[in-house]
Amino acid sequence: MRVIIAEKPSLARAIAEALPGRMQRQEGLIQCGDTTVTWCLGHLLEQAPPEAYDPADKQWRLDRLPIVPSRWQLAPRPKARGQLSVIRKLLKQASLVVHAGDPDREGQLLVQEVIEHMNYRGPVQRLLVSDLNRPAVVRALGRLEDNQTFQPLYRAAEARARADWLYGINLTRAWTLTGRQAGHDGVLSVGRVQTPVLGLIVRRDNTIRDFVPYPFYPLWVDLQVQHGQLRAWWAPKPNQPLDEQGRLIDRTPADALVTRLPGAQGQLTQLEQQEKRQNAPLPYSLSALQVDAARRFGLSAQAVLDGCQRLYEQHKLITYPRSDCRYLPEEHFAGMRKVLSSACQNDTTLNGWLSGADFSRRSETWNDKQVGAHHALAPTGKAFDASAVSDIDAKLFQLISRNVLAQFYPPLRTFEVKAEFTLLEECFRARGQQVLDPGWKPLFTTREESPPLPPLTQGETCQALSAGVEERETRPPEHFTDASIIKAMMNISRYVDDPEVRRTLRDTDGLGTEATRAGILETLVQRGYIVRKQKALRATRLGSALIAALPEAVSIPERTALWEQRLSAIAERQDDANAFQHALVEDLYALLRQSDAGKLRHSLQTAQGEAAASARRGAKSNKGDTKRKPTGNRKRTPSTGAKRKK
């Protein structure tokens, strides 16, 4: 008998419907001729607790750390025993097992750990399903692979699970017990990925809190040129009082120059003009979709993940969503006209975009070399009906479809001009852009980035009509949002200070995976380490205190980013899981020696004091606002993001 083990019931039903023969449903399985389809319910097994290895470790004690199992054990989850019993009986009768976990690292682990836990020793094949529609599942069933091919993926996932256990159990116990000595009564959870993410948010909050704004003074001049007028901005020479970004921080030179400019004659001394072509953004990975949906609709990363799961499992409108890939298989190109025509026919917006698509165009997204176990998110071809899904799901489907449709639009073509004028021996710069062909851009926005300049000729003369000096103020960075923190987790090398580590990281190395990033943020919220204030993610007093008390190596992204890199290398047969675990245990010994109750007590008291001071400042500001006459809104200048002072 052939037994197919799916990752979840929805996938099992899709597989059963694609098999020949009459379906017979029983408790925990579906019989289809000589094939039986059963399923997991997410993870049926979990890492055994410390007391399973030694009963003495049920009690939390510092002198028992680190806890490092010599032989790893898995334990059934409390609600999984019934389904595990069903799978155990089937495996005893099976002549062939088909592993039908999701096509990613975690999906490989989830089903295979059950097969190995049951000591099944027969042949195992692998079924990779990325689209739950029947034709796609039928094709996948015709392309079964040897599960042995995916052993490195399993080893990487297993190493990840064990690393999370070692890191989380030992450091959480150490700092919770240290916290009790410092007067904190709750659990202080520390995680291999969650703590560096919390560290990013805390350090951003601290930067904003400690930021001291200062004024700077851009000078503009309106110029008459041969074919019109334009505005140019002064580029002060290096001998002027400038900050690191070249902004003038002493108004005196600007005031002296502005009085001399009206009526002054000058010349266009440098002119750069070029036509640029920009291809459409690639189809989405999950994280890229989470970033865009957070920016456009204010959706949390978890809300996007949940919506995509519904579109995939319940509505069967999109392909497998937990993908880190932004490319599509080359074989999908020929059938994409039919897929998109069917998917978009009932939606006015999508149908309008569909009418402008040129399906003879072949963009760079069709690239088998860039596609791994899964490909970018795409419609399946099932007709979309906005009234049959939630508002969030409809918005997500439109975004996913839009990015695939955009592959059949021409590039955005612009004519860009950069001009430098010399007046009174000073340099003034202007830039403009003219859209020659909007291409795919109207699918994304109707806003123009910058207005065009009048026609210009190298060496032509100009005359200053008027000039002015603006007073602006530097601004701190923005608080992290769901969009910006997911983007930071995707591209963590930008937040790594160590130049040696940064050199070893690829642009694609990140914290967490597509499947876990949303959950990490929700975990931090649930544990009281961060809160959402409107769209901003802010650290709580407890979150700030924990980061201040932990060794810096635990809360900065360097180590975890390198570990993620090693896990990817294990999956690609370029590293060894045992060596990875050995290095992690060595790290644990060094980190545990740094637990310090005095430091934690001080950080808790400091965070409490800063929170109280912030509250007093807010109360004082609100009280003052009731007496102050309105003075108008401060404007932001798009070119610098700075505040313009009135």
By annotation, the residues acting in catalysis are: 320
Burial classification of residue 241, based on how many CB atoms lie within 10 Å of its CB (0-12 exposed, 13-18 middle, 19 or more buried): middle
Total length of the chain: 646
For the chain, how long is the longest CA-to-CA vector? 95
Residue 321: closest CA among 388, 408, 380: 380
Quickly tell me which residue has 């993620």 as its tokens.
564
- Return the sign of the alpha-carbon dihedral for residues 235, 236, 241, 245: positive
> Three-state SS across 277-289?
EECCCCCCCHHHH
461-469 and 145-146 strand pairing: unpaired
d(CA 439, CA 385): 27
Q: End-to-end distance of the chain based on CA atoms, in angstroms?
A: 80
Contact of 479 with 530, CB cutoff 8 Å: no
> Three-state SS across 17-65?
HHCCCCEEEECCEEEECCEEEEECCCCCEEECCHHHHCHHHHCCCHHHC
23-26 and 635-637 strand pairing: unpaired
In sequence order, the β-bridge partners of residue 468 are 220
**Which two tokens mark 393?**
């799901």
Q: Is the peptide bond before 66 cis (omega within 30 degrees of 0)?
A: yes
Torsion angle of the four alpha carbons 284, 286, 287, 290, in this order, in degrees rounded to the nearest 10: 90
Q: From residue 332, how far is each of 96, 309, 371, 418, 445 by CA, in Å?
A: 31, 22, 12, 41, 27
| Long-range Cβ pairs for the range 562-567 (8 Å, 24+) | 562/501, 562/504, 562/505, 563/163, 563/192, 564/509, 564/510, 564/511, 564/512, 565/504, 565/505, 565/506, 565/509, 567/105, 567/156, 567/159, 567/160
- The answer for 430, left when phi > 0, alpha when psi is -120 to 50, beta otherwise, is beta
Helices (H), 250-335: 251-258, 286-297, 301-309
**Which two tokens mark 299?**
């959706």
Contact of 190 with 600, CB cutoff 8 Å: no
Kindly report the number of other CB atoms within 10 A of residue 257's CB atom.
Answer: 19
Q: Name the residue type at position 101.
A: G
- Return the sign of the alpha-carbon dihedral for residues 453, 454, 457, 460: negative
Kindly report the number of other CB atoms within 10 A of residue 544's CB atom.
Answer: 27
* Burial readout 202-219 (b: 16 or more C-beta within 10 A, e: otherwise): bbbbeeeeeeeeebbbbb
d(CA 217, CA 250): 7
* Burial readout 441-469 (b: 16 or more C-beta within 10 A, e: otherwise): bebbeeeeeeebbeebeeebebebeebeb
